[in-house]
Amino acid sequence: MADERKPALSHVDDAGRPAMVDVTAKYETLRIATAVARLRFPASVFEKLKSSGFETTKGPVLNTAIVAGTMAAKRTHELIPFCHPLGLERCDITIEADGDGLEIRCTTAVHHRTGVEMEALTGATVAALTVYDMCKALSHDIVIEQTRLLSKSGGKSDYSAGAES
């Protein structure tokens, strides 16, 4: 006997098949999301990177990561099957030293019927992967961690990490 109390899944149709969420009835609003990813390096590697101005034999690490993260955010719908294609109006990526590593923040925005949290998460993640790729010759002990959504606004519900529901 089937459980009649199953929650409705947003990416599954009535027949149980995968489906894109229908946003045609939603209102177009300004949607903004911010995500973060952190990288931790062995101390000697991080010191070497800082002293070089974050330049490796592959080039400028931070600038390359910003470009890669922005490109990825804009193409999220090509990577995540049910993401709607969005013409992002904003994609800001910042990278700052944080203890023995880096903190990458990606903020995305668009006027649309669906949110941009997946674009922010994708931008932060691909920027982190780019840093790893450009620094792996120095060490493979680089850890990408704590990738998460920090905030989203403009849709049916807003979200802020750490805020009580």
Let me know if 133 is a catalytic residue.
yes
Are 72 and 79 in contact by the 8 Å Cβ rule? The answer is yes
Task: State the CB neighbour count (10 A cutoff) for residue 6.
Answer: 7
- 102: tokens are 């880096």
Q: Which of 14, 22, 92, 133 is catalytic?
A: 133
Provide the CB-side half-sphere exposure for 159 (13 A, CA): 16
Residue listed under structure tokens 């959504």: 149
Catalytic residues: 133
